[in-house]
Chain A
Amino acid sequence: MTHVMNMKQMEQKLQKADRKQSLLYLFCNFMALMIISAYSALMFSPTVQTIFPEGGDSAKQMYMIFVMTLIGCVVFTIYALGLFFRHKSGQLGILMALGASRRRLAPGLFREVLVLSSTSAVAGIVAGFPFVWIIWQGFRLILVDSSEMVLSFDLKCLFVSVLFFLLVVGFACLMAWRYLRKTNIMEVIREEHINEPVKELGRWCGPVGLVLILIGAVMGYGTPFLCDEWFHMYPPSWLSIFYAPVLVGLYMVMLHTVVHGWRSHRKNPYKNIVSRSMMKFQGRQTVNNLIVVTLLIAGACFGIFYLPANGVSAMVRYANQAYDYFYHYRADQNVPDQEAVEALAGKYGLALKDWNECEYITLGMGQVSIIQEEDSNHYTKEYVVMNKEEKVLSEDAYRVLTGQDADVEPGTYMNITDTDETSLYTNNNAREFTNMVTRKQLDTEFAGYLHNNLLSDQVGCSVLSNEDYALISEGLTDDWKGRFVQFNIDGKDNYQFANEFYYLFVNSFDKSCELPYYYDRVQKIRDNEAGEVYWGDTEDMTEVSFEKLDSFSFRVFWVYQPQFRILSQNDFLRSVAVLFMMFLFICIVCMLTALVVCYTRCQTIALNNSYIFDDLKKLGASPEFLSKEVRSQCKNVFKVPTIIGMTAIYMFFIMILYANDGRMLWAEMLALLVCLGILGLLAVIVYAVYRVSVKTIKRQLGI
């Protein structure tokens, strides 16, 4: 006898029979929620938030890729839901045809979609935390570890996940309601087999799409510069709208791929005709999928490019450093002298050579300053006396340090920049220097640049003639004076020595030097004298602490951070670990999502088109022919987004590097080469998943 006794039991049995479809939907939802939950958990974690400078480029890049991933995951879950309902529609239609009313079907249908969507979403959100934890611990175990890499979570991260959860559940209910509202029952029954062709455009749409992508990238990247140049305005965030042609272009390129393909079929119009038509008649789904995957792959590449972009230039800089050891300190600090350093080096069997040291002074420098209007993005430029701190050397001191003559005329100054002239700030318009103790001013005029990599730092360093230097330094107290020191190791350097010297050096400073390089004492005096509180004395400024000598903020932002080559080379990854690992994580997450979407798409090809493959078999198609058709379908799913996503982001990256300073430095070219290698590696991973997908589909289709 039958076990079916009522509607609920029948529905439960049908759900059990459809578990393959349900599992696919569960899997898609789970993956999307897990990825978003993991990404936001890491992004909002105190571990990352304390390292990423607020409003900095790295943070913007992280948020931008998050938005791309979020869009990708939203489209993906909607797609998965659509697939689920397409399959479900046949069953719903039959029950409607046999007299089940909307009211009769609603409880079961809503129960099913609510259970499926909410359990998978909750499971995904929860799984996001162990997922990110495991990956992060893996990084710590295999790649790099530091005290800053200890992962902690902030529950704020749940905000995005909960919003996504509501969207998933809400959309599932909306879709269920939409199906129940349908009056044409035949349409519901046939829904599963209804094709979704896209609106065809001519063969021009592909090339035009490529041009639009290019225009969008240039416009999106260039508009903020123009906004700054023309309107003296900090670019508002809505300017990102100028990137919109990229999306339109991407859609057109994908449409072209699906409708026409990129190969000419004139010679052999019947080649791949089956796979092309299969793609074409599920065009809407296919185009959506291709766009999502392209965005995700682009996001993954953009994330991973952060590593070579920053790592290669740092490594090149360390390798080309003129001296093994270079540092400076304030004259009122009790820093180890040459004898003490030599004694320490002797402990490690090292001898010092090329020891040079000389005095510098710190003056107030006049400068054209940017003043932002209140409650507005607009700014004005205005010359301000005593605008900033500047380290100043005499001609003689410069010669001692660099071995080069400066030849600075009295009444002028020369500013020191690096050999690539990448650190040309606005230090070329000072009309006077101010002794901050006596307030004596020295009228001056910019006389050009000098080049030295060690002396060009974020604070800035200039050179005065010996006469002017002597004149303006009169009456300066030790806290406005300092010394530059540089030396080499005779023979092979020793990391242990560098490390011990580093701690000895830092510990010799008192609390008054516990400052980041952007804490400007001249600005503070100016603001205080104007009765204002200097922003560096508020909580707005990121602090550095002698309690956290190994922290990223201390190593990067401390104003007297020494440059010890062996230490920098060995500790680089450790000091930027959180930044680098965050971007590596972003790459992994985006790539994983892209591959899951591709794999799922291939699965649906097998599910939706199985009857076509059956028909082809009946028509005598050989296993080889069928395999070719499967490969052709999957190839487009994997190949086109990979090529377009990788190429577009690589070109964009080249543009960024070039547009930064209007040229390409060789360190940047080296970084581009490394990026190319990474793209190759990612392409191999995509290819491997493609092979697995083809194998799985062939097994499912019995080929």
Chain B
Amino acid sequence: MLYVKDLYKSYEVGKNKYPVLKGIDFHVEQGEFVAVMGPSGSGKTTLLNCISCYIPFEKGSITVGGVKLAGQNEETLANIRNTKLGFVFQDFMLLDGLTIRENILIPRIVQGEVNKEAEQLADQLATMFGISHILNKYPAEISGGEKQRAAVARSLINNPLIILADEPTGNLDSKSSRTVIETFGNAKAKMNATIFMVTHDSFAASFCDRVVLLKDGNIYRQLEKSGNRSEFQDELLDALKEMSE
């Protein structure tokens, strides 16, 4: 589904060059729920932005659904973002001027294919994620948790190959965080969605099938859930503690 090979990315500030990703290798399978964790500056968000085609990378390759991202023109990359990827951001990134239903439908509108079927799908997703009562409201009128669930619904409207989520619980309280993560679980269970999530939150990560730990631009370790969620969270916390030592 998603293959990342030998990925390098650095930022230039003035004359100085700061390497952020130093040869990352991993893959995500269809239907898998994978999280990336690591301390600030480890390269988590940069990795996600490279996969999302938001920022160009220098070396290596990223393949989504058999399509290599490197070397594609802007039009193709936009099409990949629209049809093959779904996005969930930390600060929701809903458009204030549109209702929640319209926000959910944005990827379809961009595609130019808003029809009855799309509207029905938006309603189904809203029902699945418990936000059908706010479909005609505007983002300013709803809570953070509801906004994020709307964002998850939006990420699924085009039935993407993979959902890319950047700190989806970062701006939420614990109750809303749980709801959002359960929403992802729901999407995975009911729609066989593939989810790749960057997070700081060990609780959120403990819902995943696998967690990739990043440190200083390299993969430090990968952990797979074998037991229950609580045990997996303990295992994660231990690994994070070990990594910070």
State the interface size on chain B (CB cutoff 8 A): 36
B122 / chain A contacts, CB cutoff of 8 Å = 2
A405 / chain B contacts, CB cutoff of 8 Å = none
Q: How far is the CA of A99 from the CA of B99 in the complex (A)?
A: 19
CB pair B74 A98 closer than 8 Å: no
Known: A2-B102, A183-B56. A17 touches B97 (CB 8 A): yes
CB pair B81 A97 closer than 8 Å: yes
Give the contacts of B120-160 with A (CB-CB under 8 A).
122, 154
Interface size class of A (residues with CB under 8 A): 20 to 34
Encode B64-99 as 1/0 by CB contact (under 8 A) with A. Answer: 000000000011001111110101010001011111
Q: Across the two chains, which residue of chain B brings its CB closest to A95? A: B110
A2 / chain B contacts, CB cutoff of 8 Å = 99, 101-102, 105, 114, 119, 122
Known: A2-B102, A186-B49. A99 touches B95 (CB 8 A): no
Give the contacts of A74-121 with B (CB-CB under 8 A).
91, 94-104
Q: Across the two chains, which residue of chain A brings its CB closest to B109? A: A10
CB pair A17 B109 closer than 8 Å: no
B49 / chain A contacts, CB cutoff of 8 Å = 186
Known: A2-B101, A186-B55. A14 touches B95 (CB 8 A): yes
A184: interface (CB < 8 Å): yes
Residue pairs across A and B with CB atoms within 8 Å: the count is 93
Q: Give A94 Cβ to nearest chain B Cβ, in Å.
A: 5
CB pair B97 A16 closer than 8 Å: yes
Q: Give B84 Cβ to nearest chain A Cβ, in Å.
A: 9
Which residue of B54, B55, B102, B111 contacts A4 across the interface (Cβ within 8 Å)? B102
Q: Give B117 Cβ to nearest chain A Cβ, in Å.
A: 13
A98 / chain B contacts, CB cutoff of 8 Å = 81-82, 87, 106-107, 110, 154
- B contact patch SS: helix
CB pair A13 B110 closer than 8 Å: no
CB pair A100 B97 closer than 8 Å: no
CB pair A18 B97 closer than 8 Å: yes
A96 / chain B contacts, CB cutoff of 8 Å = 78, 81
B206: interface (CB < 8 Å): no
B169: interface (CB < 8 Å): no
Which residue of B89, B98, B107, B119 contacts A99 across the interface (Cβ within 8 Å)? B107
B97 / chain A contacts, CB cutoff of 8 Å = 13-14, 16-18
CB pair A94 B114 closer than 8 Å: no
Encode A479-512 as 1/0 by CB contact (under 8 A) with B. Answer: 0000000000000000000000000000000000
A6: interface (CB < 8 Å): yes
A17 / chain B contacts, CB cutoff of 8 Å = 96-98
B119 / chain A contacts, CB cutoff of 8 Å = 1-2
Q: How far is the CA of A293 from the CA of B69 in the complex (A)?
A: 49
Q: Give B196 Cβ to nearest chain A Cβ, in Å.
A: 15
Q: Across the two chains, which residue of chain A brings its CB closest to B104? A: A2
CB pair B75 A103 closer than 8 Å: yes
Interface residues of A (CB under 8 A from B): 1-2, 4-7, 10, 13-14, 16-18, 91, 94-104, 183-186, 189
